[in-house]
Structure 1
Amino acid sequence: MTEPVKRYSVPARFLHWIVAAFVFVAWPAGAIIKFVKEDVKLTFYMVHESLGFLILWLMLARLVVRLFVKPPPHLPMPALQRGVADTVHWSLYAALIIQPILGFLATNAWGFPFSLFGQWPIWSPIGKEPGIAPLLSSAHLVLGWTILVLFVAHFGGVLYHHVIRRDETLERML
């Protein structure tokens, strides 16, 4: 009889997949905003910014869960592979926390107050700051592409483990 799969906790799995779903909507919405017609552009901004704001709080919740609920041990793998996996994992955590903060601050620095889904105004520590707005927007853009690269690395690792190694890596998060 085989031993059952040691899975991540229910909160860890739930938060992982809800963040993934939100990123799969927020990232492409942000990437195409400059190409959409003016009559829907504000809707794209609202969805992109609101999901980004929720991603920030969900990632902070993920961090709390990660710190207080021990994840299952790594499956056996070479030390270099484990190091790459940990680096990608923690880089995604950092990027998905920093990215919404940069976007939020950039929005406000350009002089646009933020309201969650257009309904609930969110206070910002900065107001209109045209001197730093381009810097914040550029950092947000670069980090957005970095998140895509990290996602591709993460997904590539999942495929490698599931298709080639045929181990339980994917099942642990399902």
Structure 2
Amino acid sequence: MDRTSALDAAPRYSAAGRVLHWLVVLFVLVVLPFGAVIKFVKEDVKLTFYMIHESLGFLVLWIMLARLAVRLVKKPPPPLPMPAWEHRLAATVHWALYAALILMPITGFLATNAFGFPLRWFNLVPIPSPIGKSDAAPYIMAVHVTLAYTILVLIGLHLLGVLQHHILRRDGTLYRML
């Protein structure tokens, strides 16, 4: 099946769902590396790295909430034929990604607040802190870091599924999100 016929034949997600999906992909590709390298950057730029990481993470939270709203309001296209176990696995990975991509920025926001650093979104907008400085900060940060690794595993599983459908099955699954 060539790309044009696959794209025409594949029932697609809503335009809003597709745009929000790719925005999350774009921001996660920036946010995760920023978070991973913060501890290695020079002290004089570390606060800038934190600000960018936290601000983009906060943006991912709102995009994911919008994405969840779109997903709940606009019914996704029916799944293409596949074994029931595969459909359950795909659904589990998708919903786990939604949960992790929402919980990740929340735990990061709470952790930085608990460390005593309230968020000033892109150094422009102060975001009120729901918690003050707290001894719970290292524990919240541990959850945040665990979620980062969880997201990497889930993205890997998601990409394996995409590749399996696109390369081995040659069905229109990939085109549903283009």
TMscore range, shorter length:
over 0.9
What secondary structure, in the 3-state scheme, does the structure 2 residue paired with 1:72 have? coil
Residue 164 of structure 1 deviates from its aligned partner by: 0.9
Q: Structure 1: which amino acid aligns with 2:102?
A: I
Asked if structure 1 preserves the Cα contact closer than 8 Å seen for 2:10 and 2:173, the reply is: no
What secondary structure, in the 3-state scheme, does the structure 1 residue paired with 2:9 have? coil
Could you say which residue in structure 1 is the equivalent of 2:75?
70
Residue 47 of structure 1 deviates from its aligned partner by: 1.0
RMSD over aligned Cα, in angstroms? 1.0
Could you say which residue in structure 1 is the equivalent of 2:105?
100
Query: C-alpha distance in 1, partners of 2:150/2:9?
Result: 35
In the superposition, the TM-score normalised over structure 1's length comes to 0.96
Q: Structure 1: which amino acid aligns with 2:149?
A: W
Query: C-alpha distance in 2, partners of 1:35/1:62?
Result: 33
Instruction: After the TM superposition, list the runs of 4 or more consecutive aligned residues in structure 1 that deviate by more than 6 angstroms.
Output: none
What secondary structure, in the 3-state scheme, does the structure 1 residue paired with 2:16 have? helix
Query: C-alpha distance in 1, partners of 2:85/2:72?
Result: 23
Residue 43 of structure 1 deviates from its aligned partner by: 1.4
2:56 matches 1:51: yes
Residue 103 of structure 1 deviates from its aligned partner by: 0.3
Could you say which residue in structure 2 is the equivalent of 1:173?
177
Which of 77, 85, 88 is residue 93 of structure 2 equivalent to?
88
Which of 25, 39, 46 is residue 41 of structure 1 equivalent to?
46
Query: C-alpha distance in 2, partners of 1:62/1:138?
Result: 26
Could you say which residue in structure 1 is the equivalent of 2:35?
30
Query: C-alpha distance in 2, partners of 1:98/1:166?
Result: 34
Q: Where does the alignment leave 5 or more consecutive residues of structure 2 unmatched? A: none
What secondary structure, in the 3-state scheme, does the structure 2 residue paired with 1:135 have? helix
2:150 matches 1:146: yes
Q: Structure 2: which amino acid aligns with 1:50?
A: S
Could you say which residue in structure 2 is the equivalent of 1:137?
141
What secondary structure, in the 3-state scheme, does the structure 2 residue paired with 1:143 have? helix
Per-residue CA deviation, residues 72-124 of structure 1 (Å, 9 max, x unaligned), is 00000001111110000000000000110000000000000111111110001
Query: C-alpha distance in 1, partners of 2:46/2:172?
Result: 42
Q: Structure 1: which amino acid aligns with 2:63?
A: L
